[in-house]
Structure 1
Amino acid sequence: MKAAAYLALAAHIALGGFVPAQTQQSSSPSESHDKSASDRDRLIGGWHLVALRTQGADGKLNLAAGLTGKLIYTRDGHMSVQIMYPESDATLTNDYVLNGYEASFGSFDINEQAHTVTHHVEGSITRGLVGKRLTRAYRFSARRLTIRSTNPNEHWSVIWQHD
């Protein structure tokens, strides 16, 4: 009897009767840059790091080289970000980075009118961020997302491309 039940289930799956929940809530690459979609819908999915820019004391923009990273927003309101700096920056440590690595996760909410997304940090490689609300300005351009700090003392922006 069990064998017949397993065989029936296998036939059902093989004939396309089983659709995983993931495919029902697809965040296709075309959806990420569909201008008719809400900004929240456009955020959903995986993004890979294209560039990190900082502004020096002299006002010049500096482009960080050799970084790799991933940013993820989920439909149920969670986010995660990880950035690995090159070996030459392995000792870099600041409010966001510990020994050349940045990582945090939590939930997020979005204010589409203000073009801001707020990350509610639940965990971070730098414990000082835990419990903080980090509001970021965002802008979409085709398949790219630019995020920058809204803190007037922080002068950086990160460019991400949708996977």
Structure 2
Amino acid sequence: MKALRYGAWVLVLAIAGLVHVQSAETQEAGRVSDRERLIGAWHLEHIDSPQPEGKPSNIPQPKGMLIYTRDGHMSVQLMYPKSANNQSNEYVQDGYEASFGSYEMDEVKHMLTHHVQGSITRDLLVGKDLPRVYQFTADRKLVIQSARPDEHWSVTWEHY
């Protein structure tokens, strides 16, 4: 009788241990890495680009798409409204921004680095590494900011 009770306890403990291990594996499998969350196509929701004195600017909001592939490639395109067609800078030419290349991601530091292989602004960006700080919001949006101290913009993207 004592051996039967001992055997029953061993069986109960073994089942409890197995359930605990499976539960932990299920929780681990339920966590999606930042890289997995990043993969896919995103549409531009909003760009914030404060003026030098920190005041919000009224930049015309472009339409845009950002794509990250599983194999480490990226592409971004933004088209500003006609009122901003003369806008040009390191990233934008005549109201249009486009670049592509590869990317690296550091999930611990929340850093993305875009390695530009092609750009509408050609030699202004081609061959450059563009460090970006990223975060995912509670409502599953992606916010990307420049990691450069001389740039103070942020871009909010929503997954298609």
Q: Same fold by TM (over 0.5)?
A: yes
Aligned to 1:137: 133
One-letter identity of the residue aligned with 1:148: Q
CA distance in 2, matches of 1:117, 1:160: 15
Question: Which blocks of at least 5 consecutive residues in structure 2 are unaligned?
Answer: 1-29
**Deviations, residues 65-116 of structure 1 (Å, cap 9, x unaligned):** 3410000000011000000001000010000000000000000010011101
One-letter identity of the residue aligned with 2:135: R
Confirm or deny: 8 A CA contact 1:52 1:63 kept in the other structure: no
User: What root-mean-square deviation, in Å, do the aligned CA atoms of Structure 1 and Structure 2 show?
Assistant: 1.2
Please give the secondary structure, in 1, of the residue aligned with 2:49. strand
Higher strand share: 1
CA distance in 2, matches of 1:68, 1:50: 8
Asked if 1:149 corresponds to 2:138, the answer is no
Q: How does 1:7-156 map to 2 (within 5 A)?
A: 36-127=31-122, 128-141=124-137, 142-156=139-153
Larger radius of gyration: 2
Please give the secondary structure, in 1, of the residue aligned with 2:158. strand
Confirm or deny: 8 A CA contact 1:51 1:64 kept in the other structure: no
Higher helix share: 2
CA distance in 1, matches of 2:59, 2:79: 11
Question: Which blocks of at least 5 consecutive residues in structure 1 are unaligned?
Answer: 1-34
Give the paired residue count.
129
- Structure 1 residue 60 displacement after superposition: 1.2
Please give the secondary structure, in 1, of the residue aligned with 2:36. helix
One-letter identity of the residue aligned with 1:156: W
Q: Give the % identical residues.
A: 55
Please give the secondary structure, in 2, of the residue aligned with 1:64. coil
Please give the secondary structure, in 1, of the residue aligned with 2:57. strand
- Structure 1 residue 50 displacement after superposition: 0.3
Residue 156 of structure 2, aligned match among 141, 155, 159: 159
**Which stretches of structure 1, 4 residues or longer, exceed 2 Å deviation after superposition?**
61-66
Aligned to 2:6: none
Aligned to 1:29: none
- Structure 1 residue 58 displacement after superposition: 2.0
TM-score, normalising length from structure 1? 0.76
